[in-house]
Amino acid sequence: MADLDVDQWRNAQHLLLRSAKGARRIVCLLEKGEVVKCRHTHGADVADAPSRVDDLQAAADALYAANREPADQTLGLQWKLGASHDEVVAAAEALVTPDSSVVLAVHDAGALWTSLILRFDEDRKVISIGTADPSLVDIHGDRAEVTQRLVTFANGREGNVKLVVSCTKEAAERFLEAQDKAAVVAELGDDFSVERIG
């Protein structure tokens, strides 16, 4: 993960991740494959901590195997997407252009409440996660204008933005809770937009 604004990331976690409070986890943060931080949430030593990661799944499997005792049973971030892993992979294959960036912009009360800038490699695997930096991009104002500024910012940071999801906070919450994603997107109308670029 790189270029994370504290408030933007906190709100993204609230929206998209199950709480990890009290859970025993190994947190490994990367920037372009280089390990920036590899720590255990309860202060235990991390055995065989990597210095570079090129294959995320292999690194996660190796870390888990080397740290079976201090780690919980579940690997990775615990997303609350309202979809299975296979459904998420299928959606990524259908929507995400290889070697591109995806922008998620969630708005509330006239401002960008949270954002994610996801960089995908040629195999459609996430290789970088970032957020808007309010010191560099104005996050206040009209939803369409704020989203356009965020896309411009993301193109300057990660490049090649090909998919933009822009929605209200309420719409994002409804989408994530829904079993039938297509039906809820149709109901939400302008409050939840998905735009392919190029």
Q: Where are the domains of the chain?
A: 6-12+81-196, 18-66
| Confidence class for position 72, pLDDT limits 50, 70, 90 | low
Summarised one tens digit per residue, pLDDT across range 93-119 is: 999 999 999 999 999 999 999 999 999
pLDDT value of position 70: 58
Above 80 in pLDDT, residue 52?
yes
Rounded Cα distance between 133 and 13, Å, is: 16
State residue 22's pLDDT score. Answer: 62
Region 186-197: what's the mean pLDDT? 96
Quick one: what percent of the chain has pLDDT higher than 90?
Answer: 57
Global pTM exceeds 0.85: no
Check residue 75 and give its pLDDT.
Answer: 46
Indicate the residue type of 122: E
Residues 112-150: pLDDT tens digits?
999 999 999 999 988 888 999 999 999 999 999 999 999
Task: Give the tokens for residue 2.
Answer: 């790189």
| Nearest C-alpha neighbor of 8 from the set 178, 185, 119, 136 | 136
Contact 136, 156 (CB under 8 A): no
Within 10 A of 109 (CB to CB), how many other CB atoms are there?
8
Q: Which residue has the higher pLDDT, 142 or 26?
A: 142
- Top-confidence residue, 156 or 42: 156
Determine the residue type at 73: Q
Going by their DSSP bridges, the two strands 161-168 and 192-196 should be labelled as antiparallel
DSSP letter for 190, please: G
DSSP, res 166: E
Taking all residues of the chain, what is their mean pLDDT, rounded to a whole number?
88
**CATH hierarchy code of domain 6-12+81-196:** 3.30.1050
> What's the pLDDT score for residue 24?
74
How far apart, in Å, are the Cα atoms of 73 and each of 23, 80, 87?
10, 17, 22
The owner of tokens 């195997």 is 65
Measured CA to CA, the distance from residue 152 to residue 71 in angstroms comes to: 39
